[in-house]
Amino acid sequence: MRTWLGLALAATASATWAAGPADSGTPAPATSLHAAVIRQPEWDQTPGPSEFARYYPKGASGSGEATIRCSVTEVGRLANCVVVSEFPEHQGFGPAALKIAAFFKMKPTQIDGQPVAGGTFSTRFRFNNAGLTPH
C-alpha cells in the first residue's frame, strides 16, 4: 500500500476593510476576502493516507511533491486550484495534488457572522512511493 509522507499546510485569514461612509470615520467590513492570503486555517476536513494512496500518480518513480494555489469558497472548500510547482516534473504529482485538494474543507471565514468567499490558500504536498516509511 502506498503511504503519504505528509503535506505542509500554510494559511492566515487577514481581514480586508472597505472604506466606510465619509462622515462616519468608521471602516465598514468588506463583503469578501479576495485579497486575503489564508495562512492558518481551521480545518473541518483534510485528506488522509487513503486519498494519497488513491491518487499517487501511476507510473511515477519514487517520491515527489507539488505546490498548489486555490481560492476559498464561502463554505470553506478549495476551488479554482492551479499547480504552482511540481517536482519532479511530468511525473503526475501536480495533477494528483489537484485531485486531493477536493478533500480539504476549512471553517468558513466570517464577517459580521456571515460566511464569505474569497482569499487564497497555498499548500505543498509531499508524496512518498509505496514501501517507504514517512519520516
pLDDT string in tens for the chain (135-residue length): 333 333 333 222 222 222 223 344 444 444 455 568 999 999 999 999 999 999 999 988 889 999 999 999 999 999 999 999 999 999 999 999 999 999 999 998 888 888 888 889 999 999 987 533 333
Single pTM value for the model: 0.70
Position of cell 492558518?
40
Interatomic CA distance for residues 80 and 32, integer angstroms: 16
Cβ–Cβ under 8 Å, residues 93 and 64: yes
Domains of the chain: 4-10+33-127 (3.30.2420.10)
Quick one: residue 25, left, alpha or beta (phi over 0 = left, psi -120 to 50 = alpha)? Answer: left
Cell of 58: 501511476
